[in-house]
Amino acid sequence: MTSSSLAPVLVTGCSSGIGRATAELLLKAGHTVYATARRPEVLAHLESAGARVLALDVTSEESMSTAVKAVEDEHGRVGALVNNAGYGEYGTIEETDLDKVRQMFETNVFGLARLTQLVLPAMRAARSGRIVNIGSMGGRLTWPVGGYYHATKYAVEAISDALRNEVRPFGISVSLVEPGLIRTGFEETALTSEAHAGTDGSPYAGLLATSASITTGGYSNPMLASGPEAVAKVVLKAVESRSPRSRYVVTAAARAAITARTVGGDRVWDAIVRNQFGSH
């Protein structure tokens, strides 16, 4: 698969982390890359590296439509779409502010879905295209305090599975990337939302404190966490492969956790959770 045959690649959420690393690697591989973020001024480093820079807010219909039109006006279609934009709002099911949950779904699920809808007509007409959705191992298993975030990633799993079979007859492939712990600043957002969810006198105070400690320890452990470059390499494979896989799990620890959840069932998984979190 040549880089020109999938030109251009549109990547969301490029201001930092996985999106930034992915845009950088795609550029090095010779792809025409449209790097996007809500505030395009933060993408100066990518622009200087050769990326086309666009403003794109995946919670805004106007912003998404304008960005896709800009690419299609110049190239006729988006060759590959990398749906990366997303974040984690963490807290217990009982205490988390549902308005914040709705905002997270707008970014992690509905933004991904709508942007996909916008690029598909031109891809179908060309009978060619790639869609790469950045999910999470959190779409295959669930930890306490992360239920609502996990729900967004389970939704991405379902959307990707349905879409893959819907668009295959049109020559379009869909791949889902499922990273484990990736050091991107994601954990800082998660810890902040946990802190906001836990109030003095909360019946979940112990659980929230334990969760914060596990999160900090996990992301600081080189045996469990990797840098965003590991995900970028997998995205490049999904974009360039002649026969891209439907799923790519990133990090050995993520593969082990998914296997434990899938093979062990609820009893094994609940035992793992109790071992991690104790009685809080």
Say whether 219 is catalytic: no
Q: Which of 246, 221, 248, 216 has the alpha carbon at shortest distance from 18?
A: 248
Q: Where are the beta strands (DSSP E) in the chain?
A: 9-11, 33-37, 52-55, 80-83, 129-134, 172-179, 181-182, 225-226, 247-250
Q: Hey, what are 246's tokens?
A: 């439907």
3-state helix, strand, coil in the chain (%, to 5): 60, 15, 30
Between CA 195 and CA 185 the distance in angstroms is 16
Q: Which of 87, 90, 149, 219 is catalytic?
A: 149
Between CA 180 and CA 80 the distance in angstroms is 23
- Residue position matching structure tokens 């889902």: 176
Residues belonging to the active site: 149
